[in-house]
A and B are shown apart, each in its own frame.
Chain A
């Protein structure tokens, strides 16, 4: 079903959460609260990328420029790259470019993807690659804008409570609205959990050959703890 909720709809619903909210006075709508709604939906899409990467998903065709392909602007989490004939392009570490030497492969550096240097099989310098990714939501520019086309309106309350929390905090959460704030946080968390549950079970008949527990390789660094372990053993 097409999304019809506008930013303004979210703000109206947020105001109605407290008799202490005075529309347009605690925070400006067209700049401040518009951004709050944007951040809230950004956050929802970001955690959705971990739970169900294909839920808020999109593709982008990127044309190579001298064997360099720019990371698609709206890509929160890229999970597949293909050549135009559907051949998978592997993403390999920048410091192990031969990791999949028998397959077309690219490495990422500075948010650009470069041909890995496996000359015989790498994508051509000006080939078009299709990136599949968990997407960020479309940018909201006006209060009358409808939310991102892939947003699920059943979770509007997640955005509403985020705005309501923002208003309560700004309006003096340290004193008069503390109780209300705690209630709002609890409610926001419940909606977040509900959304997470939906993302998990949205399509429950998926069959997998492998990767039932999906893990991702990250570039995160951990210190070598060899010396620490030796010292701990003493």
Chain B
């Protein structure tokens, strides 16, 4: 079951008697949580590249080959498939190559991305046998816009989020008059919660078989 911003804030306030809404209003915690969730999301997909995945089907031919195809906002590209037509109908891997290599030989079924626009290598004629490309990507996280929204992370990340907000409140109070709080303990709690969750995420891909693909 997903967890909400509201319950994350509630649980963070449980961590110290002085973490009340008068000192740190919900809105401040909401913004901090959004910053942290985005950061944590990227760290998570770094460890498990398919933790989040969406497919964008790009029909071919493109309306304007030279203009390319504007991609949705994405965190990073995971891979793609070119679907071909005719008697040769089969699927091929689609590769993204650096812009600088766009004219390199053997750039078959490849494209490059410039400012969020996908351009296909070669000429329009090179793509006549292809009917579409499936572009697999990790989407940008959909950050909450309201306190009742869900946090866009798996349940296991809840304690990392809670302890991050607790550390944030402790640090915030340490910057101002009032009861000083030892931030080190809260920082340690947060760091270990974050590390534990990232280890948990990394386990997801542990059993995957990998192989080295020859490139020529």
Contacts and interface: CB of A to CB of B under 8 A. Distances in A.
Given A211-B17, A215-B178, A102 B146 contact: yes
Nearest to A118: B27
Given A210-B13, A210-B18, A215-B22, A99 B27 contact: yes
B interface bracket (residues with beta carbon within 8 Å of A): 10 to 19
A213 B17 CA distance: 8
Interface in A169-227: 208-213, 215-217
A211 B30 contact: no
B17 A100 contact: no
A209 B14 contact: yes
B179 interface: yes
B147 A102 contact: yes
A103 interface: yes
Interface of B: 13-14, 16-23, 25-27, 30, 146-147, 178-179
B17 A98 contact: no
Contacts of A98: 27
Interface string A76-119: 00000000000000101000001111110000000000000000
Contacts of A211: 17-18, 20, 22
A210 B25 contact: no
Contact of A102 (B13, B19, B23, B30): B30
A211 B22 CA distance: 9
What 10 pairs across the A-B complex have the smallest Cβ distances? A210-B20, A212-B17, A102-B147, A211-B20, A210-B17, A100-B25, A100-B27, A101-B27, A99-B25, A102-B27
Interface residues of A, number: 17
12 contacts: A90-B21, A90-B25, A98-B27, A101-B27, A102-B146, A102-B147, A211-B20, A211-B22, A213-B179, A215-B22, A215-B23, A216-B22
B210 to A, nearest CB: 45
B13 A217 contact: no
B26 A102 contact: yes
A122 B23 CA distance: 21
Given A211-B20, A211-B22, 7 more contacts: A98-B27, A100-B26, A100-B27, A209-B14, A212-B17, A213-B17, A215-B23
A216 B25 CA distance: 13
Contacts of B27: 98-103
Contacts of B13: 209-210
Contacts of A216: 22
A216 B22 CA distance: 8
Nearest to B6: A102
Nearest to B13: A210
A234 to B, nearest CB: 24
Contacts of B17: 208-213
Contact of A210 (B19, B26, B146, B147): B19
A213 B180 CA distance: 13
Nearest to B178: A215
Interface in A36-64: none
B128 to A, nearest CB: 51
Nearest to A102: B147
Contacts of B25: 90, 92, 99-100
B27 to A, nearest CB: 5
Contacts of B178: 215
Contacts of A100: 25-27
Contacts of B26: 100, 102-103
A61 to B, nearest CB: 24
A215 B16 CA distance: 15
A100 B18 CA distance: 19
A90 B13 CA distance: 17
A233 to B, nearest CB: 19
A57 B146 CA distance: 34
A209 B13 CA distance: 8
Nearest to B10: A209
A43 B23 CA distance: 29
Contact of A213 (B18, B21, B30, B147): B18
Interface in A107-164: none
A100 B31 CA distance: 11
